[in-house]
Chain A
Amino acid sequence: MLTEGSGARLGYRGHNDEQTSNLVQGTLDMLLLKILALEPMNGFAMSQRLKQVSGEVLQVSDGSLYPALHKLEQEGWITAEWKTSEYGRRAKYHSPTRLGLRQLEKEADNWGRLSSAISRVIKLKEA
Chain B
Amino acid sequence: MFKMSEYSFVAGLLAVALALVCYGIAFASVRVARRRSVLAVAGGLGAEGGPGGATVTVVSRGPGGIATYGTLIAWLALAFVTVSLMFRTIAVGHGPFANMYEFSVAFAWGVLAMYLYFEHRYGQRVLGLIALPVALGLLFYATTIPSTSEPLVPALQNNLLLTTHVAVAIVAYGTFSVAFAAALLYIVQPEGGRRPLPRPEVLDEISYRAVVIGFPFLTLVIVLGAVWAQVAWGSYWSWDPKETASLFTWLLYGAYLHARVVRGWRGKRAAWLLVAGFGATLFTYFGNLFFGGLHSYSGLD
Judge: A and B partners, yes or no.
no
